[in-house]
Structure 1
Amino acid sequence: MSAAPEYELEEQKYLWPIPPEGGWTADDLDRIPGLPPHTELIDGTLVFMSPQTAFHARTMRLLENALWEQAPDHLDVIREMTIKLDNRNRPEPDVLVFSAKANTGPKQTWFRPEDIVLAVEVVSPDSEDRDREVKPRKYAAAGVKYFWRVEESDGLPVVYTYELDPATRSYVPTGLQRENLSVEYPFVIAIDLTAINRRPGAH
């Protein structure tokens, strides 16, 4: 009987970027080679995204498509683009509504907070603290007027809506939306949240 074949595992080496003194800056995200997709910068620290769940991906698709269809001409919609809040913070909301004038071309990688009308975060298990506490606080401080936080309940999105109080630079809750989202600001929006798993036009 011949001996069982021997397999040699090849060691893989991962080179992680070493932060400079004082941490990374917002512009470093465009310069650091080999960063994983959708890397964020929070307080000068790189934040790497975990693999998406089906709920997360389908919710982003539903919201992006609905917002894109209903947004007025002076606004644009995109998903998974960063906002350069300041030199040490460049988070990546899941969906953004922004001024169409801020769309500078195919090589654009970030937006200014003053260009953002609505930021949407779909909460994932690994991002609960960031999406519920850290990022909303930073968006509000930077002047982003509207914010939605989306949670999962029995497989469907539940949307918590907020509006900025300019006096305190903090968000005020304006509603909790289940099954059918209906708001008048930042523009009139109606979204069937139960359509998360349906193709457009299907019933």
Structure 2
Amino acid sequence: MSVEPEASKPSWPVPPVGGWTADDLDRLPNLPPHTELIDGSLVFVSPQTLFHERAVDFFKWQLQSVAPDDFEVVREFTIDIDWQNRPEPDVIVVRGDAIEGAEQTRFPAESVLLAIEVVSTESRTRDRETKPVKYARAKIPHYWRVESNEGRAVVYVFELEPATGQYTSTGIFHDRMKVSVPFLVDLDLTQITPRRNKAAEE
């Protein structure tokens, strides 16, 4: 008589009544890297494209090179919006006094001056609709959404309008991006395109 092996039980964490909380994100074991909390639900990140990786690196290092000394530029780090929302923007600019130490795992939303999301296929709805609403509600003054147009970066820039508490579009940038807030930035967006792709286009 053959005995079939028992199917292994799924190891996914079972949410409590009411959903997970921001503090749970630090306590749950074996979560995949860059897990976010959106409306009490865990959001896992899909494999990233080369465009996404290059764009995140580009904005992290370009902004770090021009940011005033009292600001910090950090990539892929969670922020506390409320007890059921702890998203992880791809790049953030925070006030330097929000830095507590090497073991820190999150920043309060009120310390964030700029949140940047690089859109991927699976994150499109979150980056275009869900997250901007939450960032605006948390009064983050600036939001940039970076998208790929056949491998070339397009940056959609938004600023919080204090009377409405919502983001207003202040520009769409293709090859070059120049803005004065939250500090002066002048970027060559074509640097995000891999050199091999550029050569093929020429």
Same fold (TM over 0.5): yes
Which residue is equivalent to 2:171? Answer: 175
1:142 equivalent in alignment to 2:142: no
2:47 and 2:121 map into 1 onto residues whose CA distance is 11
Distance 1:12 1:179 in 2: 51
Within 2, Cα distance between the matches of 1:159 and 1:125? 16
**Number of the residue aligned with 2:160:** 164
Aligned-partner SS, 2:168: strand
State the partner residue of 1:3: none
1:96 aligns with 2:92: yes
Identity of aligned residues (%): 53
Separation in structure 2 between the aligned mates of residue 101 and residue 135 of structure 1, nearest angstrom: 24
Tell me how far apart the structure 1 counterparts of residues 165 and 45 of structure 2 sit (CA, whole Å). 28
- Matched to 1:70, the amino acid is V
Give how far 1:169 is off: 1.2
Which amino acid in structure 2 is aligned with residue 100 of structure 1?
A: G
TM-score (norm 2): 0.91
Q: Figure out how many residues of one structure are paired with residues of the other and give that number.
A: 190
TM-score by length of 1: 0.90
State the AA in 2 paired with 1:97: V
- 1:83 matched residue in structure 2: 79
Structure 1's consecutive aligned runs of 4 or more residues displaced over 6 angstroms after TM superposition are none
Deviation per CA, 1:132-186, whole angstroms, max 9, x where unpaired? 0000000000100000000101211110000001221110000001111100000
Q: Describe the SS at the equivalent of 2:123.
A: helix
Q: Which runs of 5+ in 1 are unaligned?
A: 1-8, 199-203
Can you give the 5+ residue segments of structure 2 that lack an aligned partner in the other structure?
196-202
Cα drift, residue 105 of structure 1: 1.2
- Among 105, 110, 117, which residue is 1:109 paired with? 105
Aligned residue for 1:126, secondary structure, equals coil
Partner of 1:186: 182
**Equivalent AA in structure 1 for residue 155 of structure 2:** V
Secondary structure of the residue aligned to 1:16 is coil
Alignment of 1:15 with 2:11, yes or no, is yes
Amino acid paired to 2:185? I
